[in-house]
Structure 1
């Protein structure tokens, strides 16, 4: 269920991405301005991926974090503090697996092309 009227945030992002893409492909701009449009396009694509995948990733890693910490509350900050205070060892395989998986998920949002190389 979505309580918000149309257009949805996803539809708005798609519309803006389409507009920016058309502007990039036109010859109406200098190379410098086209480059700036490419930066805007990249940022909008990151936002789009986060809108599409963010909630699922948050829920997944919240539950994985609870399992890792064996506590009722989880945050990435809490993991950082436990590592800093040597309550979690950086040689602990479950911690390494958690951090590796989290890094992969973040790359899927920030720049999924890195995973294809």
Structure 2
């Protein structure tokens, strides 16, 4: 495997921003923007590490819920349509809760720690 990996590069960039740039910024607006950038880098790292597996879990659960094959995007659209029509299959609430938890594992895992 080629080194550095994408994750290693993102980690190095995050460490640089957090340890070198952030402490040297007197402007509160730039400090905030740097914190936003650090958050975005963390999100990208989690997406690279977890995204494919979480999407596969979503797709498998959707196929089971809807009782048919299909790609994740199409199945999510079908589920949304059924919900709008008042014909949500049994187990929809449980799927949606798991779906949101998977999304939060990438977007903001600290939220899951605070609200298990």
With the shorter chain as reference, the TM-score category is 0.7 to 0.9
CA distance in 2, matches of 1:85, 1:45: 38
- Aligned residue pair count: 110
Equivalent residue number for residue 80 of structure 2 = 80
> Superposed, which structure 2 residues align to 1:1-117 within 5 Å?
5-22=2-19, 23-24=21-22, 26-74=23-71, 75-89=75-89, 92=90, 94-117=91-114
CA distance in 2, matches of 1:29, 1:76: 46
Specify the SS of the correspondent of 1:6.
Answer: coil
TM-score for both structures, normalised by structure 2: 0.84
CA distance in 2, matches of 1:98, 1:81: 15
Query: RMSD of the TM alignment (CA)?
Result: 1.7
Specify the SS of the correspondent of 1:51.
Answer: helix
